[in-house]
Amino acid sequence: MHEVPERELSGGGGPGSLFTTQGTEESRSVVQVRRGSKVLAQTSNCPGSHGEATAAPTARGDVVVMGCENGPVVFRDGTFHKVPVKGSYARTGNLAGHDRSPIVLGDHKVDKDAEPVERPTRVSLVDTRTATAKLVDLGSAYWFRSLARGPRGEGLVLTYDGRLRVIDVEKGEVTASIPVISPWKEKDDWQEPGPAVKVAGDRAYVTDAEKRSVTVVDVPSRTVVARYGLPATPVEIAVTTGRPQESAAAKPEGAGHGDTHGHGHAHDHAHEHGDAHDHDTEGAHEHGDAHDGGASHGTAPTGTSRR
C-alpha cells in the first residue's frame, strides 16, 4: 500500500492522531485516522479520494472533509460519515474550508467521461454537522482554482464570466456577483495558466492569466479596491499577512528600535503588492488525482489526471 502524507489532528482521534489516505497509483478508496500503527477510524467508501479541507471543530476535535467520486466523507467526533448524493458518480475533488464554519465548499462534477474537461456550474456545500450536501447553481462554469472562503466564512467562486460569486453557505444562496476580471474559460489542458483566487484578511486576490494582472477585492464591502499588472503570466498564487523583518543594516542612520514608521509602511505596501506570487507546489497540492491519496497536502509523481 502507498501511504500519502498525513494531516495531524487535534482531538477527534486523540493527541497525535493522523488523517491519511491509502491506495496505489491506480486506485484509492481508503481513508483512515491513525495513531502510530493503530487505525482508530476507517472508511473504504471513498473511491478516487482527492482533496481535503477542515471545517469548524466540534468539542471533540477537528472535523475533516475528504472528496470522493461518489460523494464526500466527513470525519467528525471520531467517526467517518458518508455524504449521500444522487447518481453513481458525483465527484467532489477540490474543497475550501473555514475554521469558523461547519460547512465546506466544494466542486461538483457528474460526467466521468467529459472531454476534454467537465465545466461544472454547480458547487456543493457540505454540512459537516449533518453529513449532507446542498448544491448551488452559479449560472456560469468554474474550475478547481476558483474556490475560496471569505473572512466570515463566505463561499467565494470565480466563474467564467469574470465574476466573483459570494455565497451565504448557511442559506445556500448567492448574495453578490462582483465583476473582477475579463471573461475566461478553462483550457483543454488543465495545466495551462488560468485565473486563481486566494484570500488574506478581508481581501480576495484574483489573478487574470490572460491580462497578466491581479485584482484585489474587499470582500465585506463587495468592491474592487485595486488592480496591478504583473511582469509575467501568473500560474499559482499564495498570499501572506504580516510585516517584513527589517535588518539593522537596512535601517537609516540614527534610527532606533522605536522608529516603526517606515516598518509599518513596508507592511502596508507588502499587503497590497506582495501577496501575489508564484507558489509552484500548489498545482500538485490541489491536483491530488495525479498522486496517491489525493489529499491536499502531498507531493505528486509525474503524470496527468482529473483535477
pLDDT digits (tens, 9 = 90+) for 34-92: 999 999 999 999 999 999 999 999 999 999 999 999 999 999 999 999 999 999 999 99
Provide the Cα torsion 176, 181, 187, 189; round to 10°: -90
Grade residue 242 by pLDDT with cuts at 50, 70 and 90. Answer: confident
CATH number 3.30.300.30 given to 1-137: no
pLDDT, residue 4, reads 44
Largest CA distance in the chain: 71
Cell of 56: 469548524
Amino acid at 251: K
Provide the Cα torsion 127, 78, 96, 193; round to 10°: -140
CATH number 3.30.870.10 given to 142-241: no
d(Cα 41, Cα 12) in Å, to the nearest integer? 10
pLDDT digits (tens, 9 = 90+) for 161-194: 999 999 999 999 999 999 999 999 999 998 899 9
Asked if 122 and 105 touch (Cβ cutoff 8 Å), the reply is: no
d(Cα 110, Cα 1) in Å, to the nearest integer? 29
The whole-model pTM stands at: 0.78
Give residue limits of the domains in the chain. 1-137, 142-241
Amino acid at 73: V
Please give the C-alpha separations between residue 59 and each of 76, 95, 100, 153, 276, in angstroms, as whole numbers: 10, 23, 13, 19, 36
pLDDT, residue 13, reads 63
Q: Which of 4-13, 67-76, 130-139 has the lowest mean pLDDT?
A: 4-13
Cell of 149: 472562503
pLDDT, residue 240, reads 86
Per residue in 223-262, is it b (16+ CB within 10 Å) or e — as a string?
Answer: ebeeeeeeeeebbbbbbeeeeeeeeeeeeeeeeeeeeeee
Q: How many CB atoms lie within 10 A of CB 130?
A: 12
